[in-house]
Every structure is written in C-alpha cells, then in structure tokens.
Amino acid sequence: MYWGWWISWSPFVGTFIARISRGRTIKEFILCVLILPALVTFLWFSAFGGITMRDILQGDTAMIAAVNENISTAIYVFFEKFPLAIVLKSLGVILISSFIITSADSGALVVDSITSSGSPKTRPMQRVIWAIATGLIAAVLMYGGGLDALQTVVTISGLPFAILLVLMCFSLFRGINEDYQKSKRKDKLLERETYRKNILDLVNQERKEKNLEKIESEPKKTPKITDL
C-alpha cells in the first residue's frame, strides 16, 4: 500500500515539480528535490521516532494508546511531552493545513494543464472548478467509507501508473543519452573550429612578418543544435 500510495501521487507531483524546475540542471534537481527532502525526512523520523521509542522502552505507553485510538491526532499527544505544547500544536495545524492546501492546489494545476492539452496558461476559474471537484470526491469517499476507502481508491489507481513509470524511466534514460551525444558533437565542432582559427592566426602572423598577403578565413556556417 505504501508504494501504491506514492505511485498514485507521482503524475501530479512529477508534473508539478517539472514545471517549477524548468531551466535547472539535473544536478540541481537531484540535490533540491531528492536529497534535501530525504535528509529532512530522515531527521524528522530520527528525532520524533527516537523520542517515542525511548519513552516506550521506559514504560510510557501513552503514544501506543494514542496511535491505536486515532493515528491522525497522535502527533498532538506527542507534542504534550514538550514545553509550550500549545505553540507546537498550533504550528502543527499550520503545517498540516499548508500541506493540504498546496497539495490540492498543485493537483488542480496539473489536472487543469492536462485537460487543456498541456497549456501553461489557463483560466483561474477552471483551476478552481477542478480543485472543488477533487475536494468533493475526497469528501464523498471519506463520508462513505472513511480514510480506508480513500486510501484504497488511491492505491488501486496507482497500479496502472506503475507500468507507466517503468516506461517513463526508460524514456528518460534515452532522452538524457541523446542530449549527451548532441552535447558531445557540439563540443567537438566547437573544438575543431577553434583549432582551425588558431592555425589561421599563426599562419597569418607568420606571413605578416614576411610581408605576405594575409589569408582570410572562409566564413563557415555554425551548425545549429537541431542540425546535429
């Protein structure tokens, strides 16, 4: 279920990140999108999980009871272990709300773009309609079967995308390889042109010293990347 949940999110998150990452290098993308969030998540789970495991080993089973009763509100029981618990709870509500709002907004943005044939500029009202529609679908699923029903639907919908992800990985590898080959050919042409220009400069300098006629370099059309 864990992998199905994240695979179902991949079309929305991937398309959204691709739009905001336009113009950045692969190295920057890997650092800012893959490594840094993973490190923050690692620190989060290490700190909060480590404290909870220490309390359980010391005989404090309050978190176990809170998780068994309602896993959605267990985090607030955890905050009660710290000073200024009301501040931490308020920050928790703000962070969770911002996560839900930004996720819904990015999902509506991607769906709006897909249904508009990939157009980057669409009417704001159209995005609002998609946001309301997705919210109503989630509310109906929550009302009909609770969180389990919502998670089941999302997990099932992620199965077809698992096959597409494999094909997309292969396509990404081919695309990067083609770009690399084009870049190598372009560098070789630039190196050849630079070498030719240096040779002509040396010949002209030598002929100038001997008072001979200067050799003009023939204008050569610089190949475009699309011609490679």
> Which one, of 123, 155, 203, 23, lies nearest residue 32 by Cα?
23
Model-wide pTM > 0.75: no
What percent of the chain is modeled with pLDDT above 90?
A: 1
Element holding 169 (H helix, E strand): helix 124-209
Domain residue ranges in the chain: 2-164
Answer yes or no: is pLDDT of 215 > 80.
Answer: no
Give the residue, 218 or 42, on which the prediction is more confident: 42
Tell me the mean pLDDT in the region 18-23.
78
State pLDDT tens for residues 198-212.
788 777 777 776 665
In the structure, what pLDDT confidence band is assigned to residue 184 with cuts at 50, 70 and 90?
A: confident
Residue 26: C-alpha distances to residues 7, 34, 187 (Å): 21, 11, 19
In the chain, count H helices and then E strands: 8, 0
State pLDDT tens for residues 100-148.
888 777 778 878 877 777 676 778 788 888 888 888 877 777 677 666 7
